Structure 1
Amino acid sequence: MSDPRRSIPRTDALLSLIDAPRLSQPALKALAAELQGAARRGEIAPRDVEPLFLERAGGPVSGLTRVLNATGVVVHTNVGRAPLSAEAVDAMVNAAGYVDVEMDLGTGLRSRMRGAEAAAALLAACPAAEDALVVNNGAAALLLACAALAEGSKVVISRGELIEIGAGFRLPELIESAHVELVEVGATNRTHPHDYAAAAPGAAAILKVHPSNYRIHGFTAEAGVEQLRAVADEHGLALVVDTGSGLLRPDPALPDEPDAATALKQGADIVLFSGDKLLGGPQAGVILGRRWAVEKLKKHPLARAVRIDKLRLAALEASVRERSTPTSDYLHADPEELRRRAEELARRVGGRVVAHDGRVGGGGAPGHPLPGWAVELPERLAAPLRAGSPAVIGRVHEGRLLLDLRCVPPAEDETIAARVEECMS
């Protein structure tokens, strides 16, 4: 018998099928090699190589798959954290061409005002800040703050705030890469103002970090920003507060979540946080604070290495200026409306409507429930729902698949129902 692999189409034969390629020649050759390899391994039939090649060569240029987030987790890091609003997307599209990101159109000369529009939007939204700077992400903001305010010196931090952030990055290692020495004070569960004061001589800054994805209960104590301001003033130290999740001002729905405005009013010199969490914008590291402190960060050589691109500057400005963002809408979703939508989905596809608490996610408000509802379906549907287009991800819990529509735009409810029906059949 002849080997069926002999019928796998040659690369030149596949390339000749494309009259007006959207992909580059190297990308088309890589796609051909991928499909030929799959056919040789028996993962697909040789006869399927040609139609799959034509389908994928004419498909989206990006390899990212659109996802409908039915987990109930609003700031879901694994699927891109905060979804952008239509206005923020439009702003990015407008900025995709030539824009005056570093040009003074009045004089025609180069401008040093890169990011000025985004900074102005942030200052308008948070009047407690005197100046603003935006960098690549939250980790970059922390790295730059430590380098600019304490390079070659010491930074005092509570042991209970030496956390590990996403993908295994540990805060101490990140901070020490700025050529500073960390001075750990207090205990994991209790740190007092006098602990900071004892370590202050010879230091350059105090750092207070939101503990992100965990919370300690019971016999605990921590020094507040006002108390740390007093210690910093007594010893001539800068006070840096990393609020983490990006809340600009207090939100009654998240009563224990720190916000930038309050930290600044209580005396922080610098407040920093991520732009793609509760702020509801793109990935960014937002730095707000006193003019002298922000100016030091702007002048540090590392600022150039961590600067942000024009697309995200545009999206961040739009997100801050908007009345509301998808993230805010999902956080404050009406539980009764969520129940009505869940009941309609269950009526369409079967399953049972059950009470389900959503979560903020992204390190924000750890353990804080967002009351809502979900449709309970067999766990076996989870994998095929993830494999389709658009991918639908739900929460698998105790042998059940839970679809929570909190973070699904209402216009996509029909898409969710159609995907479930497709997988059931």
Structure 2
Amino acid sequence: MAGLARALHRRGLAVRPFKPQNMSNNAAVTADGGEIGRAQALQARAAGVAPSVHMNPVLLKPQSEVGAQLVVQGRVRRNADARAYQTIKRALLPVVLDSFATIGRDADIVLVEGAGSASEINLRPNDIANMGFARAADVPVVIIGDIDRGGVIASVVGTWAVLEPGDAALVRGYVINRMRGDATLFNDGLTAITRHTGWPSFGLVPHFAPAALLPAEDAADLTPSAGRRGAGLRVAVPLLPHIANFDDLDPLAAEPDVALARVPRGHPLPLCDVVILPGSKATRADLAVLREEGWDIDLRAHHRRGGAILGICGGLQMLGRTIDDPTGVEGAPGCSEGLGLLDVTTCLTGQKVLAITGVGGYEMHVGRTEGADWHDGHAVSSCGRVRGTYRHGLFNDDAARRDWLACLGASPSDASHEARIDATLDALAVHLEAHIDVDRLLTIAR
């Protein structure tokens, strides 16, 4: 979607991205003080416009295996488990259509992204994300099949087979995405899909490896890694279950002299120079998991050896003495003992803070932090090796990132993170223009 947005923007069109419903703990702050999915913020950037809460009117931020925080037009509305959410979805359709109309007023074309699959007929009665929205807004549909997952012929043909006639009538064709190897080997596959469905193909898109440089949509795209061999600065990041806004780490991972190890559960934190505790959507729950994994022991040993520690948002809160949630903002009310490496305490009360701060930076958190180590919005231990901040996007600022790396003895590159993102979007746009019949897509739009 980001690549198509950039391609159409390069053609001179006023493009707006739209995702009726998203589920992700990777979120972005909009200029009007709301929050939307990180993917929609990237798509807005690709389209050359500022992100708006109307680009993603319903955002679900998972806080447990079956529950999530519900954000509507940028504002937290309530917490709901999965079954309860199914009963209230239909009431959100007018809000979704209002946002769709709002962004459409300034657009030549709106790119609507579904969520999950058009074939989820078990969720169809109250659907606002896929065919339910398409029917309500009367928009044409293109099915996207991911061949990298396997079974793509059955996936697309199966979608055709289960769609009710009114939904199927909106489908204008399909695109096959992420083809690896010789694309001509799938010519017969395209023929077979069209023969079974009657839908034309709009293109077969080869896998575009540089897309990995773009911010990930959600934790489903996050994979463990051992880090780059031969790099000077070793950084370890524990992958906690409710990790949030982990694209904070992308600029570091791209640095040639940084080996960023993403450590999955069941593995100890490796010997390293720096441990980073990233953001979390369920800080107390993730703190409990950190202890279950024994990572708190690894972290203390790392500290005794003279290693540096950085906590971002929820990670900052974990490093303090206590995290108190008296009203159950993140789950059951209660108070958790922190790691005690920073002399601060946090109380999860008050209005959610949503603010843009500096170059590529923003704050997005619930909680008030205070204590002896708290100074001007940041925490620093007496030894200076443990630090915490509520600022996401800290490393997007090239100058700040270079200074931080230099202080830790690394050799920072001269590369610009923001320039890298835009160059990747441009390259992705060119790639899609070469493999998708964009002109035909425009002819079916209305």
Q: TM-score, normalised by structure 2?
A: 0.25
Higher strand residue share:
2
- Between 1 and 2, higher relative CO (CA 8 Å, sep ≥ 6) is seen in 1
Bigger CA radius of gyration: 1
Q: TM-score, normalised by structure 1?
A: 0.26
Higher helix residue share:
1
